[in-house]
Structure 1
Amino acid sequence: MDSEQISALYQLGGAAAVIIVGAFFGIQWVVRTVQAMKTSPSVKTEKTTIITGDTVAMDRLAGTIEASNTILTENNVLRREEHADRSMMRKALEENTEALERATAVLQDIRPEIRELTREIVRSGK
């Protein structure tokens, strides 16, 4: 073996050693990272009592909107009831009008008979 081959083998051995040592440390790093992920506590959320001006404003706005929705809902219910009442009253008025028209027609039909009956009563003197 000449010196060039020996030099190439040393370089190849050195490169292999660097790769093996790097791989060893890389694997160790991955193992430690995975273990740390397993043992680390999950993300905790904490409720804070900090209230900002925006939070107060949004809370007031939400309350106002809820109150407005409640009022509108009640108004819609009352409007439906009022509409139903008006429909019933309109129907009753139409029925009463028809009954009055029938009564008027009957009175018109019996008017001559009432006149004749009145004349008979006057003639009889009672």
Structure 2
Amino acid sequence: MAKQVSIITFTGRLGNLIGYSRNGQHFLRSMPAIVRQTAATRRAAQRFGMASKKAALIRSAFSGKLNVCGDSGHINRLTSALIPSAGKDISSITGFRFNRHMGTDSLLTSAPKLSRSGILHIPPQVIPNT
């Protein structure tokens, strides 16, 4: 890991170098020559990716519009709740709580439904002032 100290710093790939930022400082590392991944590891990574995309969508839907403030662990808890179902089954987040006081049950008065084609339908509802 090399620290970038020049005026021009970068993140991303540049040839076989990868630039990244951590805690406001920029670093470089080289790309690995070989990545060994079993089929199970690849499937786990894909499930994690799908779950984390779904969790990001859920967080963005609630955060800006409803004044819901999560505690420090809500991001990991939400992603972990979605991983077993790979983000396909919404029942895994039933009863999820953003913080000690605010759960999905207090925000959604009528339950969302997942169609057979995989489309999530949230019926119109009155959302209480939070």
Which bin holds the TM-score, normalised by the shorter protein? under 0.3
Q: Which structure carries more helix by proportion? A: 1
TM-score (norm 2): 0.24
Q: Which structure carries more strand by proportion? A: 2
